[in-house]
Amino acid sequence: MIIDHICIAVKDLYQGVKYWEEVFGYTQMTDFVENSRQKVKVTFLNKNNSLKVKLIEPMDSNKSLFDFVKKGGGFHHICFKCDDINDKLAELKGNGLLTLVPPQPGEAFDGHNIAFLLARYGLIIELIDTDRIAGLK
């Protein structure tokens, strides 16, 4: 497993992109993509020699994330890329992580499966097994 990206929850994607570009020197690498299953709008940012950053904005029906960003938002999860999402999910569950969302197609990853787990210390983990990203500019 390697870290693919970190995710930050924001109230507004346009403002979030502007902030990350001006303050941290990142560049928006994808269009905004609606993820209907997770009920978020997503965009990815990149910077040479750095991890990708995914910004998420809650859709109106995502009450828990909406409440989180109303309080300021911030760090949401860390994503690991692995060779096989089902094998890694079983291994991590065997190590005590809890499945929050079983593997399901993720619109931000061109329909490839994603899964979410909860690790110690309240850490939310996303798993992917693809390099595909939807909405590349």
Task: State the CATH class of domain 2-128.
Answer: alpha beta
Q: Where are the domains of the chain?
A: 2-128
Q: Is 98 helix (H, G, I), strand (E, B) or coil?
A: strand
Pairing assessment for the beta strands 2-9 and 52-58 based on DSSP bridges: parallel
Using a cut of 0.85, tell me whether the model's pTM lies above it.
Answer: yes
Residue-wise pLDDT tens digits, 79-96: 999 999 999 999 999 999
Paired with 33 in beta bridges are: 42
Q: Is 91 helix (H, G, I), strand (E, B) or coil?
A: helix
Q: Which one-letter amino acid corresponds to residue 53? A: V
| Total length of the chain | 137
Residue-wise pLDDT tens digits, 23-53: 999 999 999 999 888 899 999 999 999 999 9
- Res. 5: pLDDT tops 80: yes
Do the Cβ atoms of 40 and 56 come closer than 8 Å? yes
